[in-house]
Chains A and B, each alone.
Chain A
Amino acid sequence: MTPAEIREEIIDILGDIAPDENLDELVDEKNFREQLELDSMDFLDIVMELRKRHRVQIPEEDYGNLASMKTTVDYLEPKMRDIIKA
C-alpha cells in the first residue's frame, strides 16, 4: 500500500468506529484526540481493526505512534508497504 492508500484505510476504520465524526476536515498533522473525541477504547479499536483487516501487529509499546494521521501513516508505511490493496 502507498501512504495515500494507508491513509484511506485509516479513514475507513475511523468511519467505522466513530460514525458521527466528520472526517473530511481532519488535519493530518493534528492529534486525533484534539480533533475527534476518541478515547482509549477507540484507539484499541484502530489497532484491532488493522489486525483484523490486514494482519498488522502493533505492540502495545507502539500505540503512541497512532497520535495523529501523519504519525500513524509514517509508522504503518514499512509494515503495510507489501500489502496489496484489495
Chain B
Amino acid sequence: MNVLVYLVPAALSLGLLGLAAFLWSLRSGQYDDMEGAALRVLEDDDVVT
C-alpha cells in the first residue's frame, strides 16, 4: 500500500489547485453579477462580420 504515500498527497494537491482557482475567481469579481454574466454570453456584438 506504499503507493498511498504519494497518491493521496497528489490527489490533495489537485484539490488545492481547484480551491485556489475558485478563490482567485472570487477575488477577481467573477461572482459579482451572476445574472449579467448569463446574459452577456449571448451578446455577439464582438463578432466581426
State yes or no: do A and B come from one complex. no
Interface residues of B (CB under 8 A from A): none
Interface residues of A (CB under 8 A from B): none
